Amino acid sequence: MSDRKHGVAIPARLVPFPASVSPEARASLARLVSEEGEPLNASYTMPLPEDHAGWMAVKAVADGQYATAVKGLAGTLRSSVETIQNGDVTIHVATPETMLKADFAYIDFHGGALVFGGGDACRAQARMQADQHGAVCYGVDYRMPPEHPYPAALDDAMAAYRHVLKSHVPSRIIVGGRSAGGNLAAAMLLRAKAEALPMPAGLILLSPQVDLTESGDSFQVNRTVDVVLPGSLMRNNLLYAGGADLSHPYLSPLFGDLTGLPPTFLQSGTRDLFLSNTVRMHRALRRDGVDAELHVFEGMPHGGFMGNTPEDRDLAEEIFRFVSRISGEASR
């Protein structure tokens, strides 16, 4: 291969909003770009902070955005919620109005690029999951940088898992997370295995950030095609790692020995910056003998279409079906 031959030259172009998704999904994509077709996402257009104070300011802005989103949800949530403190970790325990799965626990790790999304957003999400699954949901409000770099979040994940194991048999526990939450859910299981804890019944990884080195191909191909997550999160990843090796399986579970992990549900979208993360994790799980199923949604960016679109509902139904199968309940 010659020195010049490094890749494929892609000409500039306008990639139209897909005609092959629902009108709601198309509108959701259109809301996220400027009149000139550029992604509006702040993490793409704004310079990232240089220091602790800068990060704290960015976190405040992001948390404000999450808080606004959460307020919009408040009227729709039916489950009750109690917030408990277990050593260093805060856990929001949401109990559904109608219990469909007795003795069952869903442990949820929120997303937010390993820096954002805690507090009220995490609490609301625990209630959403409890509503959706008709099961108790433990929303893990793990500590994050810049105040608490690695391994604080993973320590908190372990503490939360040990806490839930006290009141539930492993075969009645499912662990899951979206984006950064998928990182923690998978890393937590690798560490639980190393510490000889039992595996839960299932694992749910939604567009998971399982490779903090960002070595996957979709980090190139879907750069700016994904309007939710238009580019690299490396600055966040380095802040999170706090000097630890990004390729260690506790930081990038894609590179771990996945043998013995429970049945796993993986989701991504064709426009997802983390498409490669997801499909590589699916292949790695299957290579290691894990029962893993992959769902990739047409034209979907990172994290779904972010609304009540038919595609988001289809995904929710698939997750419900997986949880029901794992928990031994009939599908609705």
Please report, as residue ranges, which positions from 72 to 101 form the binding site for its own copies (by CB under 8 A).
none
Q: Closer to its own copies by CB, 138 or 274: give it.
A: 274
Is 15 a residue that touches its own copies (CB under 8 A)?
A: yes
Bin 29: left if φ > 0, else alpha if -120 < ψ < 50, else beta.
alpha
User: Segment near its own copies (CB under 8 A), from 46-54, 134-142, 216-224, 244-252?
Assistant: 216-224
Using alpha carbons, list the distances in angstroms from residue 273 to 25, 228, 283: 17, 9, 18
- Distance (Å, whole) CA 195 – CA 215: 28
Q: Closer to its own copies by CB, 34 or 98: give it.
A: 34
Is 36 a residue that touches its own copies (CB under 8 A)?
A: yes
Is 270 a residue that touches its own copies (CB under 8 A)?
A: yes
User: Segment near its own copies (CB under 8 A), from 26-34, 67-75, 76-84, 170-178?
Assistant: 26-34
Judged by CB under 8 A, which of 38, 97, 245, 257 binds its own copies? 38
| Burial readout 19-45 (b: 16 or more C-beta within 10 A, e: otherwise) | eebbeebbebbeebbeeeeebebebbe
Is 37 a residue that touches its own copies (CB under 8 A)?
A: yes
Q: Closer to its own copies by CB, 180 or 275: give it.
A: 275
Amino acid in the structure at residue 45: T
User: Segment near its own copies (CB under 8 A), from 87-95, 115-123, 132-140, 273-281?
Assistant: 273-281
Is 19 a residue that touches its own copies (CB under 8 A)?
A: yes
- Residue 263 and residue 326 in contact, taking contact as beta carbons nearer than 8 Å: yes
- Residue 120 and residue 67 in contact, taking contact as beta carbons nearer than 8 Å: yes
- Distance (Å, whole) CA 292 – CA 192: 19
User: Segment near its own copies (CB under 8 A), from 20-28, 54-62, 79-87, 116-124?
Assistant: 20-28
Task: Output phi, psi for 135, to 5 deg.
Answer: -145, 160
Bin 217: left if φ > 0, else alpha if -120 < ψ < 50, else beta.
alpha
Q: Closer to its own copies by CB, 172 or 271: give it.
A: 271
Is 217 a residue that touches its own copies (CB under 8 A)?
A: yes
With CB under 8 A as the rule, give the number of residues binding its own copies. 59
Over the window 288 to 317, marking each residue x when it contacts its own copies by CB under 8 A and - when it does not, the resulting string is: -----xxxxxxx--------------x---
Compute the CA torsion angle 309, 184, 329, 135 (nearest 10 deg).
Answer: -80
Which structure tokens are listed for 236? 């966040």
Is 13 a residue that touches its own copies (CB under 8 A)?
A: yes
> Would you call the peptide bond into 249 cis, given omega within 30 degrees of 0 as the criterion?
no
Please report, as residue ranges, which positions from 126 to 185 form the binding site for its own copies (by CB under 8 A).
none
Over the window 222 to 261, marking each residue x when it contacts its own copies by CB under 8 A and - when it does not, the resulting string is: xxxx-x----------------------------------
- DSSP assignment, residue 252? -
Judged by CB under 8 A, which of 16, 72, 75, 243 binds its own copies? 16
Q: Cβ neighbours of residue 104 under 8 Å, at least 6 residues apart? A: 133, 135, 136, 168, 172, 173, 174, 327
Which residues would be at the binding site for its own copies (CB under 8 A)?
A: 1-2, 4-21, 27, 29-30, 33, 35-39, 215-218, 220-225, 227, 270-271, 275-276, 279-280, 282-283, 286-287, 293-299, 314, 318
